[in-house]
Amino acid sequence: MAIYFTYGFSVEPDAVAQQIATIGEGRTLGYAEHGAAGMLTLFVRGVLCNWMVSTAVVGAMMSDSVPGKVIVMWMPILVFFYLGFEHSVVNMFLFPSGLLLGGDFTLSDYLVWNEIPTLLGNLVGGLTFVGLIIYATHARTAPTRPRKVPSEV
């Protein structure tokens, strides 16, 4: 994207590219200005984000129709984007692009003040609010599989 917006780095970044760079600055240095509160905010935004993303994935797997899959995936992802939650994979595009386009932050700013707390939050959100809930509600009701004795294998 950085090559696209700068014609192979032969021209200055256009307005869209400058906005991407500015977003990268605001979503790293902006959190850093708040210290531990910024780190907590990042973590919680990561938790909430992956709760939505994991809900969308599970919902799509449960649906039997294509329109149902689309709708059940669309709604939680819409919530995640609209509310500005943090997703580590999305950030893996946004922040390196922001750096290449002249954002005034460093790679370590990005890792410490966004990627690491976001990744931890994403793991907690997906595992706790979706994975653990599914396990707790379905582990006992799952059909039992016959156990194979080593001599039968």
Overall fold of domain 2-8+17-138: Glycerol uptake facilitator protein (1.20.1080)
* CB-based contacts of 7, cutoff 8 Å, min separation 6: none
- Alpha helix stretches (DSSP H) within the chain: 2-6, 15-26, 29-32, 36-62, 66-82, 88-100, 107-110, 116-126, 133-138
31-56 confidence digits (pLDDT tens): 999 999 999 999 999 999 999 999 99
Task: Tell me the pLDDT band of 112, cut-offs 50, 70 and 90.
Answer: very high
62-85 confidence digits (pLDDT tens): 999 999 999 999 999 999 999 999
